């Protein structure tokens, strides 16, 4: 919009004003002083009425001016301007703080909606597992069927992604307490340090643009909660927001597994990726042709009672799941170890039925049985210290429980009847062990875009 066609000097005649009005074709003119300050407005109707009243074309425009006119500031919202145009205002002058005309708003000249920077955000929950551990390893179900049962809870990994206009890559990890900066993708993937998992995920995605990625989690590293899969899922969720053809939940799970197992080379199973991405209570079966996620419709009363009956306890011992899974792979060559996993799978089906039927006391006993099977799979899964924690928890109210994840440390999950929960919590506190409150999370990976 050319604002000069709306402006006229305060000393101009009515005839000059009409010529300007004819030029801008909006039937209005703004009178300004030499300083540029707008002092009044005249419409073709104002001028017509003045001429009828006896003024001549050579008379000063000042006689026709309306000095009490409507105007708006430069920071007026687009929404407000639309509403004013819809309310019988055809032309809105935009003035600066010195009352100088800087724009003219009409229905043909509304401010464009600027394309602001877009950030992709995501969060993905951790899981607690109840049974079937070890059967989600490919070398186990390569000639059979694996099955696990797990649920996501209210601890998350969070990610924020912003596209850059160059090829530079910046990754900030609050969990690692470090930043990786690289000039391009190759330099990022070849950088040495503690970003192995994140680099493996980036390699799997293979982005063709520079970006900034911020990561942080609500839970400690090496906790047995499937945290590495959760971080991978959060990163994938951000990049998925930028795709026209978005990955499905199954594809996201496969990509997370590919990154950690194939590119990073860390031994492990399949359940963590599916658990965090699908979310909720799931019974998952593993076969060589496909993995099937069966959501469990557990009654609300059962879920509430289960939340009250479960205690998540941090042993404060970090573990290396890759080494434990590697040892477990070697141990699995022994037929008796393979049979132990099969017993765990059979137990997993029982746990599923117990949850669906609300048989929670039987569920608590099954957790104990699952732990006894699991700890026999590898000498690295438990030790005297962990065994002592578990035995003393049983003596102080716990009906059953198990160490989450591969074992060796991380979190214990205990089942305790609510009437004895205070006994267990008091015992854990005396032992210097931290119980972490949680709620079940019914949804898995969530991702969205936000404009700043």
- Beta carbons within 10 angstroms of residue 46's beta carbon: 20
- CA–CA dist 17, 8 (Å, integer): 7
Per-residue pLDDT, 330: 59
Per-residue pLDDT, 326: 61
Per-residue pLDDT, 158: 98
DSSP assignment of 25-77 equals SSSEEEEE-TT-BEEEEEEHHHHHHHHHTT--TTSBGGGG-BSS---B-TT--
Q: Which of 428, 432, 411 has its CA nearest to residue 315?
A: 411
Helix, strand counts (H, E) of the chain: 15, 17
Per-residue pLDDT, 405: 82
Residue positions annotated with a catalytic role: 272
| Structural domains of the chain sorted by starting position, each given as residue range(s) with its CATH number in brackets | 3-105 (3.10.580.10), 119-435 (3.30.230.120)
Per-residue pLDDT, 321: 55
Q: What is the mean pLDDT of each run of 10 residues along the chain (452 residues)?
A: 90 94 92 95 93 93 92 93 90 95 94 88 97 89 92 97 96 97 98 96 97 95 88 98 96 97 92 97 96 96 96 82 56 70 92 96 96 83 92 97 84 95 96 93 97 83
C-alpha pair distances (Å), 124 with each of 152, 177, 267:
9, 20, 22
Per-residue pLDDT, 324: 54
- CA–CA dist 265, 262 (Å, integer): 5
Per-residue pLDDT, 296: 97
Per-residue pLDDT, 430: 95
C-alpha pair distances (Å), 342 with each of 296, 357, 412:
22, 23, 23
Burial class (CB in 10 A: 0-12, 13-18, 19+), 256: buried
Burial class (CB in 10 A: 0-12, 13-18, 19+), 321: buried
Per-residue pLDDT, 32: 96
Read off the pTM.
0.84
- Beta carbons within 10 angstroms of residue 296's beta carbon: 13
Per-residue pLDDT, 328: 54
Q: What is the largest CA-CA distance in the chain?
A: 113
183, two tokens: 């000039």
């Amino acid at each position: 919009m050319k604002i000069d066609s709306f402006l006229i000097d305060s000393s101009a005649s009515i005839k000059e004003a009409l010529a300007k009005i004819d030029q801008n074709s909006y039937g209005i003119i703004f009178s300004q002083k030499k300083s540029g300050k707008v002092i009044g407005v005249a419409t073709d109707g104002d001028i017509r009425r003045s001429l009828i009243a006896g003024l001549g074309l050579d008379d000063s425009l000042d006689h026709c001016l309306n000095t009490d006119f409507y105007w708006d500031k430069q920071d007026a919202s687009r929404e407000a301007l639309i509403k004013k145009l819809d309310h019988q205002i055809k032309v809105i002058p935009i003035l600066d703080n010195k009352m100088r005309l800087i724009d003219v708003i009409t229905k043909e000249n509304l401010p464009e909606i600027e394309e602001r920077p877009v950030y992709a955000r995501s969060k993905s929950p951790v899981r607690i597992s109840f049974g079937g551990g070890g059967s989600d390893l490919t070398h186990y179900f390569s000639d059979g069927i694996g099955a696990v049962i797990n649920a996501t809870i209210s601890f998350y990994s969070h990610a924020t992604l912003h596209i850059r206009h160059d090829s530079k890559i910046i990754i900030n990890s609050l969990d690692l307490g470090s930043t990786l900066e690289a000039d391009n993708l190759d330099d990022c993937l070849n950088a040495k340090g503690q970003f192995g998992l994140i680099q493996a995920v980036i390699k799997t995605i293979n982005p063709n643009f520079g970006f900034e990625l911020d990561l942080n989690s609500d839970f400690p590293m090496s906790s047995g909660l499937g945290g590495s899969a959760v971080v991978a899922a959060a990163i994938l969720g951000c990049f998925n927001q930028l795709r026209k053809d978005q990955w499905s939940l199954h594809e996201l799970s496969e990509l997370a597994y590919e990154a950690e197992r194939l590119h990073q080379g860390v031994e492990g199973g399949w359940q963590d990726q599916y658990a965090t991405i699908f979310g909720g209570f799931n019974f998952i079966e593993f076969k060589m042709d496909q993995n099937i996620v069966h959501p469990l419709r557990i009654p609300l009363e059962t879920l509430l009672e289960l939340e009250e009956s479960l205690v998540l306890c941090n042993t404060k011992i970090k573990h290396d799941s890759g080494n434990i899974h590697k040892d477990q792979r070697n141990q699995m060559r022994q037929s008796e170890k393979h049979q132990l996993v099969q017993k765990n799978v059979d137990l997993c089906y029982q746990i599923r039925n117990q949850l669906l039927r609300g048989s929670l006391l039987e569920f608590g006993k099954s957790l104990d049985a699952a732990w006894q099977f699991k700890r026999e799979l590898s000498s690295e899964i438990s030790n005297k210290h962990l065994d002592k924690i578990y035995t003393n928890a049983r003596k102080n109210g716990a009906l059953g429980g198990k160490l989450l994840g591969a074992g060796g440390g991380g979190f214990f999950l205990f089942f305790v009847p609510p009437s004895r929960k205070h006994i267990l919590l008091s015992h854990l506190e005396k032992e210097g062990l931290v119980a972490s409150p949680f709620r079940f999370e019914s949804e898995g990976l969530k991702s969205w875009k936000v404009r700043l």
